[in-house]
Amino acid sequence: MKAFATRFFVPLLAALALGAAASAQARPPICGDTLYQSIVLQADLVCGPGQTGLIIVDNGVRIDLNGFSIRGTGNQLNVGVYSYGYDRVEIVGPGSIEGFEWATFLSTGSRHRVSDLKVPAGTVILFNLSDSTVEHNRLASVMLQSGGGGRSTATWIASNEFILDPAYSFSTAIGLYGCETAGNVVADNNQPWVNYAHAAYSVQVGDGAHDNEIQGNTVTRRLSVEGGAHSNRVSRNVLAMDGTGQNGLELWTTASNCAGGVPSAPFKNVFVDNKIFDAGYGISLWGTPGAPVADNEFHSNTIMKPMWAGMRFGPDTKANDARGNSVIGRVPYAIDQGTGNLWP
């Protein structure tokens, strides 16, 4: 999933404000309720077309699904649980949030926690927040983004399993986007292999995201760093591809809002001790004229049985250091069409 469209934020805020019902503090909650205090579900919450699930309007509110579900109808822009401007929001299971385009939408604030949920379709949205945790869930997709002058920092996305309802089409399991999305950790997540027709990326870091750690994940789709993302460290990941020609690690030039919407290349990222199996190219770099992919480092990575070559440096690449990696298979170590790239 590419960077979330900021133009939707203001209309969404207005719609949620207009649709908010009275506080659900003295009775079982109904769809559209605003929550001023914590609740424990005692039954499934089933929402109709156009309805938001629950809206949090105070600090420290905890929603405990208690084994139940919050269910919608799959309408575009619907939200399962929404919070804007509050701290210490918790949404915890066991339980599921299903049938919403955005399962949760947590915007601004800090010290949030999303844990032990099942979200087989829809995205967990984290926008302009800090010091938060998404852990021990079974998710389809999670997106951490900054924009509009805000920041997303010091957040952990860890120890989740990424699943997918076959009817749900998505392009990214874990996405980090935005000029001020920095200092976050994506660690120890797992994505079992399933034949997802629309699953393009396991991890996508773009639109200027920087100084993040992507480490110890086991995934089955591409890991992409693009759109001006820089100074990220990608280490100890296992990329178990499917032998159909998908690349493993990809660095490429794409448009970035941080650069005014013009093409921007990833730079000064470090890739260390990753293992890549059965990819087309184990590592692929592809820039554009005027925005070459440059000054990235690749060391101690193991690329096993690639289809075409261990690494590919496209024409608009330069000064990348890819010395000290292992390529196992009857293919070239690298195909280099760039300038000043160092290998093996």
User: What's the pLDDT band for 244 if we cut at 50, 70, 90?
Assistant: confident
What rounded mean pLDDT belongs to the chain? 90
Identify whether the C-beta of residue 111 lies closer than 8 Å to the C-beta of residue 86: no
**Res 20 pLDDT > 50:** no
For residue 342, how far is the Cα from the chain centroid? 31
The 10 Å Cβ neighbour count of residue 290 is 10
**Res 5 pLDDT > 50:** no
Q: How far is CA 162 from CA 118, 146, 210, 333, in A?
A: 10, 22, 23, 32
User: What's the pLDDT band for 121 if we cut at 50, 70, 90?
Assistant: confident
pTM (2 d.p.): 0.92
Query: For the CA atoms of the chain, what is the radius of gyration?
Result: 21
The span from the CA of 271 to the CA of 320, in Å, is: 11
Q: Does domain 30-336 have CATH number 3.40.50.720?
A: no
Tens-place pLDDT, residues 153-167: 999 999 999 986 565
**Res 291 pLDDT > 70:** yes
Mean pLDDT of 275-302: 97
User: What's the pLDDT band for 15 if we cut at 50, 70, 90?
Assistant: very low
Identify whether the C-beta of residue 254 lies closer than 8 Å to the C-beta of residue 227: yes
Lowest-pLDDT choice from 4-18, 95-109, 119-133: 4-18
**Domain map of the chain by residue range?**
30-336
Tens-place pLDDT, residues 307-344: 999 999 999 999 999 999 999 999 999 999 999 999 98
Tens-place pLDDT, residues 195-229: 655 557 999 999 999 999 999 999 998 999 999 99
**Res 17 pLDDT > 70:** no
